Structure 1
Amino acid sequence: MIKNNIKNIRQRILLATERCQRDPTEVSVLAVSKTKTTTDIKQAIAAGQDFFGENYIQEGVKKIQFLDNPSLTWHFIGSVQSNKIRLVAKYFDWCQSVNSVNCANRLNYQRISFQKPLNILIQININNEPTKSGVSLKELLVLAEHISQLPYLKLRGLMAIPALKETYCRQLKIYQKMSEAFQELQNVYTSVDTLSLGTSHDMEAAIIAGSTMVRIGSAIFGSRGQE
């Protein structure tokens, strides 16, 4: 099932990129593996999947340690709690949910002993929803400038989790705002190359707007748990 699901996701990406005349290789798939077993993850690996995203730090660390596979790339996509920052810095390759100077400083400090910088995406609260984490677009450039000065972090781009809208057109409009912010950031920082936007439910609109990474959980692993 997982193998076929990954094949279907790649087909959806192909069709979406054809609609907007993009190269399908510009869009990578992050398999959201939270609440999934290592058996599920191994099936995805066998189907060629090598990017995985975890929301819960202790669960993610256990999987990383158990699988012990250097060819895999692990993204932390959950809320970065202050008492778990050391684990994010130690075990993950990317952190997609940086939303403050303090968070960036602490990740940088904890990453000192590693040769490779931790790849960073700034989380944007595109609709300024009070229940969601992330910085506003007005705060973006200040935080990006700060991160760019930290030696053990590498600014790679933006991430957002916009609320699903009633229509495709409304969804696309929100995603285009993210794409514009991403392009502005690319004009300033040569390291910026990743816009993490879109899930199982709305990946087509995200890709057409310019997403370079879609976060796919249920469409790969099934509906057990939440994306």
Structure 2
Amino acid sequence: MSNREKELTENLAEIKEEVAEAASRAGRKPGEVEVLAVSKLHPASDIEILYNAGHRLFGESYVQEALNKMEELSGLDVDWHFIGGLQSKKAKYVAGKFSAVHSVDSSKLAGLINKKAAALDVVQNILIQVNTAGEEQKSGVSEEQLPALIEEITGFENLKVIGLMALPPFFGDPEGARPYFARLRMLSEGMEKLFGIKLPELSMGMTGDFKVAIEEGSTMVRVGTKIFGRRPGY
């Protein structure tokens, strides 16, 4: 086993143990929370190492980089998720390529993905990104506009909303993010009741605050640095 293989497999095992412990403390089953290994800006070889160690769930943030990795790893059954900001002109490239797109925040973007999904005759799973803190510099639909967006998207035959995603403000203390995670969970529960739908996924929590996110109901934590180390160039 190479040094890199040892590093990555040990890091992943440690994260999964921490996730299981956080879930247990919250009275949840470890299997209720998945680890989305955020592999953006890391080579396909790193993904292959973790794949060979049994991990399948990977998140990418840049369309072209993700497509290149998909081609390079085409022989592997990787469960790809798109988690980055998505420009309208790139929307057509994600439909049918990812198990889920986490960053849908407008009817225009949803419509473009739906159009491509229809042409491919597939149903694309999506999560709606909510800007729970109302930060101007961040993507995400506002809480006030969320119901209208869900109502519109439910009219798209080739999209399926499976949950909500959020990027709370950064805090040195992970407890600072707790109210935003709790708010996203409440919004999800409210939308389920309002529309009579199931939104099983809550994509929230990253390297610095995933334990708090799990305590507040996250079903998928997005962890990059603590698995892969610092991104090249950072």
TM-score (norm 2): 0.92
How far apart in 1 are the matches of 2:205 and 2:101?
A: 17
Number of residues of Structure 1 aligned to a counterpart in Structure 2: 227
User: Which residue, out of 174, 178, 188, partners 1:182?
Assistant: 188
Q: 1:225 to 1:44 in 2, by over 3 A?
A: same
**Helix, strand or coil: the match of 1:111?**
helix
Q: Is residue 2:107 matched to residue 1:101? A: yes
| CA 205–89 in structure 1, closer or farther in 2 if over 3 Å, else same | same
CA distance, structure 1, for counterparts of residue 75 and residue 133 of structure 2: 37
- Pick aligned residue for 1:137 from 133, 143, 162: 143
CA shift, 1:44, in A, is 1.1
Q: Deviations over 1:19-60 (max 9, x none)?
A: 110011010111111101011000111122111111110000
The gaps in structure 1 that reach 5 residues or longer are none
Verify: 1:91 aligned to 2:97, yes or no: yes
Identity between Structure 1 and Structure 2 (%): 36
Q: Distance in 2 between matches of 1:49 and 1:148?
A: 32
SS at match of 1:197: strand
Asked if 1:162 corresponds to 2:156, the answer is: no
Instruction: Give the aligned partner of residue 198 of structure 1.
Output: 205
- What SS does structure 2 have at the residue aligned with 1:211? coil
- Aligned-partner Cα distance in 1 for 2:121–2:31: 28
Task: Tell me which amino acid in the other structure corresponds to 1:2.
Answer: L
> TM-score scaled by structure 1?
0.94
* C-alpha RMSD over aligned residues: 1.7
Letter of the 1:152 partner, please give it: N
Q: Secondary structure of the equivalent of 1:31? A: strand
Q: How many angstroms apart in 2 are the aligned matches of 1:113 and 1:42?
A: 31
- Structure 1 runs of 4+ with >6 Å offset: none
Is 1:210 the equivalent of 2:217? Answer: yes
Q: 1:225 to 1:133 in 2, by over 3 A?
A: farther
Deviation digits for residues 85-104 of structure 1 (CA, Å, limit 9, x no counterpart): 11111422211110101110
Distance, in Å, in 2 between the alignment partners of 1:83 and 1:178 is 28
CA shift for structure 1 position 78: 1.2
CA distance in structure 2 between the partners assigned to 1:128 and 1:226 by the alignment: 30
* CA-CA distance at 1:77 after TM superposition: 1.1
**Structure 1 SS opposite 2:14:** helix
Cα distance in 2, alignment partners of residues 114 and 189 from structure 1? 28
Q: Secondary structure at the match of 2:80?
A: strand
How far, CA to CA, are the matches of 1:213 and 1:93 in structure 2? 13
**Residue 10 of structure 1: which of 10, 16, 30 is its match?**
16
Partners of 2:79 and 2:144 in 1: CA distance: 31
